[in-house]
Amino acid sequence: MTHEPVPQRLSDADRDAAVNALRQHYEAGRLSDEEFADRSGKALEARVASEADALFT
């Protein structure tokens, strides 16, 4: 019997950490203003880890 993995739910602290990491990439010039705004908004709305992870690819 195989089981599907259960998605890891994110806490508020996890979402804040993702936004902070994105901010560091923005400040280093790796993200434009538009990319940072878009990805930060998505990070704050993310409910599971895979949604936040996708913002860094």
In a domain, 42, yes or no: yes
If one counts the domains in the chain, the total is: 1
Q: What is the pLDDT of residues 26-36, one digit of tens each?
A: 999 999 999 99
Number of residues assigned to the chain: 57
State both tokens at 5.
Answer: 């993995």
Residue span of the structural domain in which 31 resides: 12-56
Using an 8 Å Cβ cutoff, are 43 and 15 in contact? yes
Question: How much is the pLDDT for 6?
Answer: 80
Phi, psi for residue 48 in degrees, rounded to 5: -130, 160
In a domain, 20, yes or no: yes
Residue 55: pLDDT band with limits 50, 70, 90: very high
Supply the pTM of this predicted model: 0.86
